[in-house]
Every structure is written in structure tokens, then in C-alpha cells.
A and B are shown apart, each in its own frame.
Chain A
Amino acid sequence: MQSTKRKPFPFHIVVFLFPAAAIYTLFMAYPLLDSLRLSFFDQNVSGAPVFVGFQNFQTLFGTPQWSGHFWNALQNNFVFFSIHMLVQNPVALLLATLLTAKRLRGRAIYRTLIFAPTTLSVVIVGFVWSLILNPSWGIFDNILTGLGLGSLIQPWLGVPGTSLVAVSLMSVWQWVGLPMVLFMAALVGISDDLIEAARVDGASAFTVFTRIKLPLILPTVGIVGVLTFVGNFNAFDLIYATQGALGAPNYGTDILGTFFYRTFYGFQLQPGNPTMGTTIAAVMFVIILGGVLLYLFGWQRRIARMQGLS
């Protein structure tokens, strides 16, 4: 055993890593990284790539036709992400806390029902919520009228003020199950003795949650946060399915994923522009990588230090 460990690269590590690394490199990492190269190229008249350095990035940030769309999509993406952080994850945490309550009847049923939307395809999510929010036969407007809030009714998915929020909430509705499951796993890991001790001291459920549970599940909060970030800045399907490649209305729901797709593959009469599309993807990559590194070297180190102290 010892002798294996002293070698710089023991054979069994290769055996464990190689199959995953090989398939991943061949079918994912290499094609993606190789494609990213295109962001430093432009296509000449005959379609052959010509190296142009950072020129595409200058075009993206320096010309109003491009930068306007880019900053708009980035801003929308931040709103999209913020709504997930402020609604999806707290709701997931609340549901997970309730579902891990002691002596809860029907736990399995609740859990299954609440998780069910996560298994749906975007086609269903888009169809059903468009039906519910439809200005002509949507039930949501009837509910508002019933509550005496009829004056608030809007063409929800059709006006810039509400469409981005509405689509974000549709996405929250669909995906809340995943962080919920992760939070549940972390919450049941907390020692019962600790909570009982606090209870005996007269602490309320709220106090137990904020003072004991929350600090202990901070690592999971971090994981959920970074997964939300990565998922949201790479999001595409739901917006494309409900609001189209243009992020209607008037780019009000356009995020980086739709902006990239439209540019790379073209749209209606608009031929695709692979080099500029790749440039957008490269910027997305930098943003997401930045977020992940911030998590790894900021948040995770700090958590590790805190836990090291304890």
C-alpha cells in the first residue's frame, strides 16, 4: 500500500479516472474548448476562418448594435438569477425544513407532489403557464378578479415590465425541487441532540432554524447557490419555448443563452454568425467560470475555515 502511494502517479488512479476523463474529453471538453477558439477568428468571403485576435470582443463591446443587446441580455440574466436566489432557494429551504419536521404525516406524498414539476419538459411548462396566464382564457386573471384585484391584470407575458418576472417564476416553479432535495439531505444530517438541547433551553422553532440549522447547512447553501448561478447563466430552453429566440417582448426576456443561440444559428431570415456567436459563448464562459472560482476560493475557503475553527 505504502509503496503505491509513494509513486507520483499510481496506476489505479489512472484506472479510476481514465474512462470518465476520456469520454468527457472526447465528447464534451475538447469540442467545447476547440469551438471557443472560433471567437478569435473571423470568416472571410469564402467562409475560411482568419485569425483576428480580440477584434470580435471589441465588436461585441464596442459597437452599439452588439453591445446594446449584450448588456440588455446580461442585465436580464442577472434579474433571472436574482429571482431564483430570492424566491427559488428560500422557498426550497422552507419546504425542506417543513418536510424534515419530526412526526410529519404524509411526508412521502408531499415530497413527490412538490418534486413532480421538476420532471416535466419545458414544452409542458411553457404550454401550461401560457394557458394559465393567457389574457383571454387564463385562470390567473379570474383569480385576481375574484380577489378584487382585477385592476392589476396585465398581459403578463407580453409586456416588458412583467414578462421577465413571470418567466423567471415559471422556471422557479419547475426547478424548486432540486435545491429542496439538497437542503433536505443537509437538514436531516443535523444531530437531533443539538436541536433537543436548544428546545430544552426554550428556543423557538424559528430560533433553532436561524441559530443552529442554517449555520450548519451553509456548505449546502453554497452548493445550491453556485449550481443556481451556473444553471441560470447557461439557461435557454424555457425562454426559447415561451418567448421565442428574440426574448419577446422587445428583448425584454432576452438572456445570454437566447442571444448566443440567435447569433450562432441565425434567426428567421437572419443567417447565423458562428464567430460572433462563439464570442458571446466565450464571454458567458468567463462569467460562469468567474462565479465558480469565486465560490471555490471565496465562499468554500471561508466555510472551511469556519468549520476548521469549530
Chain B
Amino acid sequence: MSRVNLTAQNYSSPVATRIGQFQMGNAARAFGLHIVLLGYSALAMFPIILTVINSFKKSGDIFGKPYTIPTGSLFSLIGYQTVFKRAEAFLYLRNSLIVTGGSVVFTLLLGAMAAFALAIYKFRGNTAIALYMSLGIMIPIRLGTVSIIRLSSSLGLTGTLQGLIFIYIAQNIPLAIFILSQFISEIPIELIDAARIDGASEYRIFALIIPLIRQALFSVTVFTMIPIWNDLWFPLIMASGDETKTVTLGVQTFTGQFQTNWSALLAALTLAMLPVLLIYIFTSRQLIKGLMAGAVKA
């Protein structure tokens, strides 16, 4: 509190007063707020809209009239037709959902367990283990690829979706632990002690705190889901067969060595970004609500 009091004393400083004079009226302030947010939203959405509108054009028109809304003769579904003819879109979608869903669920469960242990218990080697568990994000993942695949191969996991799931769990556990342990360590220790006095086991306590960090679990979901969904490297090396192809890997079918089928590529890209965008919209409500409710007031 002393720190806040210290700053509060400075409110009457000349600089602060001068800035204070620029304070806008509420309406003007709200207007300015919306202008900035609208402007940035436009910047964020323009390229996405560009991708979507061009996916409804023929290849020639994409570069002839890239900024025109496809109406009348400009409108074409040829890209989407090619995608559904050439690629087994629904199979790829199923594979992507299994891989992403499976990886995220296990990352959350195992990450929360490990984060709980590291945040709640004081034991020898705690810091060392925490540091060890974060090494994974400091080395280029492509370096370990050959070792990882050799291991998967000896476990019979190459060419399977489970193999990918194991790799993604391992890859995302560091970030999950990093975020989750921040949240768990902010849970009042009195709460845990009270549960212990009630005779709850440590496992029971873990189960008890899960709802309390629901918010953090949602944010880990978003942070890990996106890179997994968009990863090209491991599906390419480990599961490039037709039965196990993911959406992201399937999309590359439409870029050729010399000729690229642009309308099919953009149609595939549009279809590929839809699921993850939808999942985000559904989880984001929870995510933000959670982030806001879950944060411990300073």
C-alpha cells in the first residue's frame, strides 16, 4: 500500500495537473475510444476479409481485381469445388480436431497437475524442476525432430495421430505450467489449509482448485490450440499419409512447384481458418470473463 500512497502524493504535481486539464468529457472520451478501437479492428480484419473475398474468385481475377467484392460474373465457387474434389476435407478436419482437441485436453490436465505441485509444495529441487520444465521452449524444435521421430517410431507411433498428440503435449507443457503456476500461486493459502483441516486429501484439494483456475485453463487452451492447429512440420514428417493428414497439411496440396492454384488455395485457407476462429469465439467469452474474474485484485 505504501507504494500507492507514494504515487498518490504526486497527483498535485504540476505535470499531472497540466495533463489533467486535457481530460475530455465523457462523450468525447467514449467517441475517441471507439475511433481507436474501430481503426485497429479494421486493420486486424482487412487482410482476413481480403482472403475470404478472393476465395470466391477465379485465379485470374484474384490478381486482376484483388480488392473487388465478388459479385455477378466475378463470383465463382471453383476454388471450393476443387478443394472438395481434390482433398478429403472432412477427414482432414476430423484429424485436426482429434489432434488439437486431444493435445489441448491432456496439456491442460497434466500441465495443471504439474503446475499445482510446483506452485503449492515447497520441496527440494522445486526451482530446478521448474527451470527444467521450461527448457523446451528455448531450443528450436526442428533440432530435436530426428530424435523425436526415432523414438516415436520405436514406440510404433509414426503415422498415427496419437504420436502427434504426444509430441504436442510435450511441446506445450512448458507454457501451460508457466501460466497455470502463476495463477495457482495466487490462490490464498488459507483456502488450501482450511480444506486440509476438513480432512481433504491432496488429490481432493487439486480437484477443488480446478474450478478456481478455470479461467487460466481457458487461456492456456487458446495459447496452445492455435500453434497446434497451424503446425505443418510434425504432420509433414510424421503423419503425412492421407488417413492422418491434418487441415494445415492438406492446404499445401494447392501450392505447386511452379503453378499455384490460387482460388483453391484461398478457399482451403478460408476453410482452414474457420474452425479455429469459431473455437476461439466460443472459448474467448469464457477466457476473458475468466481472466477478469480469476485475477486476484491487487
Q: Do chains A and B touch in the complex (CB under 8 A)?
A: yes
**Which A positions have Cβ atoms within 8 angstroms of B?**
1, 4, 8-10, 12-13, 15-17, 19-21, 23-24, 26-36, 91, 94-95, 98-99, 101, 103-106, 108-125, 127-129, 131-132, 137, 139, 173, 178, 181, 184-186, 188-191, 194, 197-198, 201-207, 211-212, 215-216, 223, 230, 234, 236, 257, 260-261, 264-265, 277-278, 281, 284-285, 288-289, 292, 296, 306, 309-310
Verify if B73 is at the interface (C-beta below 8 Å from A).
no
**Smallest CB-CB separation from B152: which chain A residue?**
A27
Asked if residues A127 and B148 are in contact (CB atoms below 8 Å), the reply is no
B37–A261 touching, CB < 8 Å:
no
- Of A17, A95, A188, A296, the contact of B113 (CB 8 Å cutoff): A17
Contact B295 A110 (CB under 8 A): no
Contact in complex: B273, A124 (CB < 8 Å): yes
Asked if B51 is an interface residue, CB under 8 A from chain A, the answer is yes
Partner of B132, one of A29, A115, A211: A29
Which of B's residues lie within 8 Å of A, judged by CB? 1-4, 7-8, 10-12, 16-17, 19-20, 22-23, 29-30, 33-34, 36-37, 40-41, 43-45, 47-48, 50-51, 63, 66-67, 110-111, 113-114, 116-118, 121, 123-124, 129, 131-144, 146-148, 151-152, 166-167, 169-171, 173-174, 177, 182, 196, 201-203, 206, 219, 222-223, 226, 229-230, 232, 248, 251-252, 265-266, 269, 272-273, 276-277, 280-281, 284-285, 287-288, 291-292, 294-298
Q: What residue of chain A has the Cβ atom nearest to residue B15's Cβ?
A: A207
Q: How far is the CB of A138 from chain B (nearest CB, A)?
A: 9
B48 to A117, Cβ gap below 8 A?
A: yes
A185-B291, A202-B20 known; A309 vs B3 contact (CB < 8 Å): yes
Q: Which residues of A contact B203 (CB under 8 A)?
A: 12, 15
A-B CB contacts (within 8 Å), total count: 291
* Residues from chain B with Cβ under 8 Å of A185 in the complex: 219, 291-292, 294-295
B276–A119 CB distance below 8 A: yes
Q: In the bound complex, what is the Cα–Cα distance between A201 and B23 (angstroms)?
A: 13
Extra pairs beyond A30-B147, A127-B51, A127-B265 (15, CB < 8 Å): A4-B202, A23-B170, A26-B170, A29-B135, A32-B135, A32-B144, A32-B147, A98-B33, A112-B281, A123-B251, A128-B48, A185-B291, A234-B139, A281-B139, A289-B135
- Closest approach, in angstroms, between the C-beta of B198 and any C-beta of chain A? 11
User: Which of the listed residues B116, B123, B288 has the most CB atoms from chain A within 10 Å of its own CB?
Assistant: B288
Chain A residues near B2: list those with CB within 8 A: 309-310
Contact A20 B16 (CB under 8 A): no
**Cβ A127 vs Cβ B269 within 8 A:** yes
Q: A35-B146, A230-B138 are in contact. Are A191 and B297 (CB under 8 A)?
A: yes
Name the residue among A20, A184, A212 with the largest chain B CB count within 10 angstroms: A20
Q: How far is the CB of A57 from chain B (nearest CB, A)?
A: 16
Residues of B within 8 A of A198 (CB): 8, 11
Known A19-B113, A98-B33, A173-B43; judge A284-B139 contact (CB<8 A).
yes
Other-chain contact of B37, A26, A98, A184 (Cβ < 8 Å): A98
Instruction: Indicate which residue in B23, B121, B136, B281 contacts A28 across the interface (CB closer than 8 Å).
Output: B136
Bound Cα distance A171, B201 (Å)? 47
